[in-house]
Amino acid sequence: MLRLIRTGATFERTGAMGVVLDAFDAPKSIRIAFRMLVWPFKWLGIEGDPAAPPVPRALTALGPAYIKFGQILSTRPDVVGDELAQQLRVLQDKLPPFGLDAARAQVESEIGYPVDELFSEFSQPVAAASIAQVHKARRTDTGQVVAVKVLRPGIERAFRTDIDAFYFAANMIETLSPASRRLRPREVVKHFESVVSGELDLRLESANSSEYAANTQGDAGFQLPEVVWGMSGRRVLTMSWAEGVPLGDNDAIDAAGHDREALSERVLQLFLNHALRDGFFHADMHQGNLKVAANGDIIAYDFGIMGHIDEYTRRVYAEILYGFIRRDYKRVAEVHFEAGYVPADHDVDEFARALRAVGEPIFGMDATRISMARLLAYLFDVTERFGMQTRTELILLQRTMVVVEGVSRSLNPRMNIWNVAKPVVEDYIKHSIGPRAALKDLTETARVLVRFGPRLPGLVEAALVRQAEQEVAEAESLWLLRFGWCAAGVLLGAIPVLIWVSLV
């Protein structure tokens, strides 16, 4: 509770409260309520860096979990405004670093060798984010230039404090607002905790990078740095250096002669390909984790947060996207019902009409005129009206979709997400939902049956034995039940006789 109070107090003390309320165009009643609740506790707020703008100042002072939310908002100028989005960009990779001596000590402790033996050069931090910072170094043995990522000291405890506060807030919300339970706040926090836990073990990030590279090695216009396994561990990750222009620096991109419109489309299409084709995608694709190489390739790095969706969910997601692209809202509604996303007691046609009201404003309209904030607000109203629950398995997918669209539109504000997504989704539909996909599913089923073929007779025999034993048990139970009724009948019939004998 103290942590949550301090959150509000920090926003008030740093001046961030007013900026956030303005960005979301909060009504006057909400503004007054927030000020009345928070102002008495203003003295508990963390002062932060006075030189920083109010919102980044507050989020940085509050710690890594809050910084994560700021990173997401930094990709959404259509939601928070261009000025605030630009201010929040510093949260992606320009946070205050920790000391060089502490970083060197962690490298030596994790890898087991002195830094000077491993690297002929080891720079000051070149980038610092919420969880770790990066140093540019040169290997002593090969001369290769590498990036050495080192976790912040005490980061695990800091996240634990924030997550405990989030669980407390989620419990309060579910207790005080029964209507909010469909959004499953506790499940959302649990999902966030699992994601963060994976990000705090750099060995998992190394494995993510390896799998991601194997999946995407044939993707044109896309590069990944390579992991140096012998110089990586739980708190240290060493990778080949990614040289390029930051994807968030439009002036530098223009100066290098790159086509921003083509880059904006490629970012979105790469994400959709990875999510639909592979079911394994980069789930933290903000500008701080993306560069443009000299040859125009997009370079992705920082694989701490990766998303995974199974084949069935991919097909459902693709059908929903495809239905929106074709403006077939009836089919989109049917897919929601077939997948169990909407309770069966609701009307499919009514849900389709509600989806039409969400989707139609997108088509035939200049993307610069679409208010994503209003669109998301209306979609939230629709899901509430039809009792849809939060799908925790889709949280990363939905969140990354929003982030990637924001990144794409920062490169090309006139980009229309549906037009760019159409060829990728159509290709997936053609290969995964048509006759060819049905044949593939049957082949996979036959392969499983063949693999278990030698065990099938035993499995069938065991099933028949279990059924026979169950039938015997049911027969014995029925016999005991009948015997019990007979015994009860005899006793009841004997009672008058016993009474007569006793009287005689």
User: Which distant-in-sequence residues (6+ apart) come within 8 Å of 97 by Cβ?
Assistant: 124, 125, 128, 133
Residue 417 sits at φ, ψ, to 5 deg, of: -60, -35
3-state class (DSSP) for residue 50: coil
User: Which distant-in-sequence residues (6+ apart) come within 8 Å of 341 by Cβ?
Assistant: 388, 391
Q: Tokens at residue 303, please?
A: 């694989």
Residue 268 sits at φ, ψ, to 5 deg, of: -65, -45
CB 292 within 8 A of CB 249: no
What positions carry a catalytic annotation?
Answer: 284
Alpha-helical segments (H) within 15-81: 16-23, 28-38, 54-62, 64-73, 77-80
What is the b/e burial string over 252-267, where b = at least 16 CB atoms within 10 angstroms of the residue's CB? ebeeeebebeebbbbb
Longest distance between any two alpha carbons in the chain, whole Å:
120
CB 278 within 8 A of CB 340: no
Beta bridge partners of 245: 292
Q: How many helices (H) and strands (E) does the chain have?
A: 23, 10
Rounded to 5°, the CA angle 372-392-175 comes to 95
E-assigned strands of 224-293? 236-240, 245-246, 280-282, 290-292
Which residue, among 307, 303, 301, 304, has the nearest Cα to 275 in the 3D structure? Answer: 307
